[in-house]
Amino acid sequence: MLRDLQRIVEAVNQAPDFELALRTMVRQIKAALDTDSCTVYVADHDQQMFVMAATDGLEIRSETPIKIAFGEGVISLAARREEPLNFADASSHPAFIHIPEVIESQYKAMLAAPVIHRRRVLGVVVVQQHQARAFTSDEEAFVVTLAAQLAAVIAHAEAKGLLHQFKQSPWLETFKGHPAAPGVAMGEAYVVTPLARLSEVTPKRTDMPEHEVRRFRSAVARTRQELNELSERMKHQVAEESLAIFEVYHAMLDSASLGQEVEQTINEGWRAQTALKKVVEQLVEQFENLDDDYIRERASDVRDLGQRILSHLQDRSRRHLETPAKCILVADDVTATMLAELPHSDIIAMVGVRGSGNSHAAIMARSMGIPAVLGLADLDISELGGQTLIVDGYNGDVFVNPPLQVEQEYQLLADEELALRQKVMQGRHLPAETTDGVRVQLQLNVGLNTERDWLSELNVQGVGLYRTEIPFMMQERLPTEHEQVALYGQVLEQFRGAPVVMRTLDVGGDKPLPYLPMSEENPFLGWRGIRMTLDHPDIFLVQIRAMLRASVGRNNLRILLPMITSADEVDEAVRMIHQAYHEVAEELECSVDEQLYQPQIGVMIEVPAMIYQLHLVADKVDFFSVGTNDLTQYMLAVDRNNSRVADLYDTYHPAVLHALQQIALRCQELNKPLSVCGEFAGEPGGAILLLAMGYRNLSMNSYNIDRIRWIIRHIAAADLPELLRQVLAARSPQQVRKRVILALENAGLGGFVRAGA
Ligand code: PEP
Ligand code: MG
């Protein structure tokens, strides 16, 4: 039997698609057990039904999929009990039901094994025989083992959206992808294809390499010009972090490697198009093989840039794109530049076959405030143009040509969304103050591009987190002190008069520097943040000196230290900051303290060990800032980027909330300013919980500022202690969520906490 087992597992794993995998499994189980039928049912939790997905042996009368409601039949019983049921004569069992569409009245013996993946029943495997007999314990173990194997297959298919063919009713075509930007929208699909595709280039040789190099250089120059035009067009339309992509593209074009490699390949005798294809495809492959989700997504940027250069090499220029009013942009790979080419006001949502929440398209969609679903691997877009789509960016669902009832339901939601967005914008100029007068400082988390006048536009009190590693990651080498001075100067200048918290380099973990390779078994527990920079005074001192120089005459710099675990790390970092300070003062020939502004220094609380050492470092630093993203991952021992444990990563976990509460209390005792710069501060529920704990300074990305202000303005601080008492007594993140949602709903803020928000 062990051999049968191995053979089936192998056959299922090698099946080219999901349906065939299921068909192979039922056929081979039936043969191995020498029984009369084997059937797999897949659970549709939305419709509360088990749907027959494959059978060998049952005779079916119906054309439409056979469904059994949750709660009915022996199948449901096995699912509910979460254990196999083995009946010599199932037909006499009270739970047994006859399915009218199946001719199975002759079956007596029945073995039903639930298919369970991470505690969720995904289906049931059923083996039946005409003759009454109990299946042996060996046979039972055999089916249970295969059900466990099937669990992974179904979970994978579900994640890839392949279950819709079994689940959906015939009139509703649903596709599941990654929820990449929140919101719902309904409209006509507008499919955009790239002007040129590298995959379609047939390799060709040349004996005129100089001519090909000239063609390549001129295509690059035209691409540059086109990028400038596109970024100019996008300016003032999207958030600053979104425009960074154009700088990334320029940096890639500047980078010696891309151009040099293409030219070198041309000189080896290949035509420009072929050389470009070879170099870009190799780069794409390198990116796609990386572990880090964010960096992996950059493969799409490289491909987009390559195809843009190719379109110029092929002398194809974009025909004028006429979009229908209020359309949904659909593409294989929605790219930032594609978006820049279209009239923005007409795009109400985006749908992409590739991509995830980390794609630039997702970042742009969020900053434009339109919903997006990406990574719809199963969606064939070739026939989609002109069809009606509903995009649910909360749940990652896309419905194609939905029936009227569904349309109406979503239209209502979309209208509510729009009204909500318009409403929160109206309150932009007002202070973030609760109904009973408690004031909160709202600050911005920023990345790269800082040209936009956020300070007046968004009504924020400066920058709560400037992640300096982003410009470091986009280069081919460490930026020089001079380059860093220019960069930091821009940020400090833009927020003149308001504090700017600049975090020292936080690389390592999931953010390696391409030119400083590190290979570690557990990078998140490894050489990251301050651990790396303290080992590299050369990098750290240069960065601090650059920050100090940039702050001359502006005096709004604050320095934040990431990943601090021990008091001696703070001592050492502060010592180096002072050293840099004196060096810069000396070089500038200005007297210390009088002319050179001494920045405040802060420590991030993101490693749990810090919670218990605040008193040890308080006299060395001026403020603390909580990084809830890492604090959650380290408190719960859950990798923040691992999708397998993504549902365990939850800042609403009562333990994390207790930690946040502790931090607030200790900082009050120590009389130290405290802020939060992790994602939790920008979530409606997170913000009110932090408020309840006494946090009065929240830093978040631009999209959330107006929403959180609105929420704060509709909450009474006096109601929060009771909410806090309840959530701190909760047993699970789910209980916490329920209470928080109720509190928001009671305050008339239910619209902010729709599914997944
Ligand atoms: C955090 O950990 O919460 C944080 C703000 O830093 P990052 O997400 O950059 O690690
Ligand atoms: Mg962090």
Q: Do domains 174-191+321-403 and 198-313 have the same CATH topology?
A: no
Q: Give pLDDT tens digits for 397-427.
A: 898 888 777 787 788 888 887 788 788 888 8
Known active-site residue 360: yes
Q: At 611, which amino acid appears? A: I
For ligand 1, atom 6, which residue shows the shortest CA distance? 627
CATH superfamily, domain at 2-169: GAF domain (3.30.450.40)
Helix or strand (DSSP H, E) at 549 = helix 537-551
Q: What was the pLDDT predicted at 757?
A: 38
CA of 470 to the centre of ligand 2 (A): 13
Task: Give the closest residue to 245 by CA, choosing from 288, 201, 203, 300.
Answer: 300
Catalytic residue, chosen from 327, 360, 653, 667, is 360
Query: Rounded mean pLDDT of 325-354?
Result: 84
Q: How many whole angstroms separate alpha carbon 695 and alpha carbon 23?
A: 57
Q: What was the pLDDT predicted at 291?
A: 64
CATH 2.40.100.10 fits 432-716, yes or no: no
CATH 1.10.274.10 fits 198-313, yes or no: yes
Q: Is pLDDT above 50 for 756?
A: no
548 close to ligand 1 (CB < 6 Angstrom) = no
* Token pair in block for residue 540: 């750290």
Q: What was the pLDDT predicted at 237?
A: 62
Query: Rounded mean pLDDT of 388-405?
Result: 85
Query: Rounded mean pLDDT of 333-346?
Result: 77
Q: What was the pLDDT predicted at 591?
A: 59
Taking a C-beta distance cutoff of 8 angstroms, is the pair 625, 674 a contact? yes
Q: What percent of the chain has a predicted confidence (pLDDT) above 90? A: 45
DSSP letter (8 states) at residue 386 = T
484 close to ligand 1 (CB < 6 Angstrom) = no
Query: Rounded mean pLDDT of 683-692?
Result: 96
pLDDT, averaged across the chain: 86
Q: Give pLDDT tens digits for 611-658.
A: 999 999 999 999 999 999 999 999 999 987 665 677 788 999 999 999
67 close to ligand 1 (CB < 6 Angstrom) = no
Taking a C-beta distance cutoff of 8 angstroms, is the pair 693, 699 a contact? no
CA of 252 to the centre of ligand 1 (A): 26
CA of 699 to the centre of ligand 2 (A): 13
629 close to ligand 1 (CB < 6 Angstrom) = yes
Q: How many whole angstroms separate alpha carbon 339 and alpha carbon 579?
A: 47
The per-residue DSSP string of 709-743 comes to: HHHHHT--GGGHHHHHHHHHT-SSHHHHHHHHHHH
Identify which has the larger pLDDT, 714 or 354.
Answer: 714
Q: Is pLDDT above 50 for 20?
A: yes
Q: Give pLDDT tens digits for 42-66.
A: 998 878 889 999 998 888 887 777 8
In testing the pocket of ligand 1, which one of 445, 467, 530, 695 has its CB within 8 Å of the most ligand atoms? 467
Looking at domain 174-191+321-403, its CATH architecture is 3-Layer(bba) Sandwich (3.50)
Q: At 396, which amino acid appears? A: G
Task: Give the closest residue to 84 by CA, choosing from 55, 107, 106, 113.
Answer: 113
For ligand 1, atom 4, which residue shows the shortest CA distance? 627
Number of H helices, E strands in the chain: 26, 24
User: 377 pLDDT band (50/70/90 cuts)?
Assistant: confident
Q: Is pLDDT above 50 for 170?
A: no
List the beta strands (DSSP E) in 70-204. Answer: 85-87, 102-103, 109-117, 120-129, 173-176, 178-181, 184-191
Query: Rounded mean pLDDT of 492-496?
Result: 91
Known active-site residue 93: no
User: 88 pLDDT band (50/70/90 cuts)?
Assistant: very high
CA of 712 to the centre of ligand 1 (A): 23
- Of the listed ranges 53-62, 270-279, 736-745, 747-756, the least confidently predicted one is 747-756
627 close to ligand 1 (CB < 6 Angstrom) = yes
Q: How many whole angstroms separate alpha carbon 754 and alpha carbon 392?
A: 11
Domain boundaries, the chain: 2-169, 174-191+321-403, 198-313, 432-716
* Token pair in block for residue 137: 């314990």
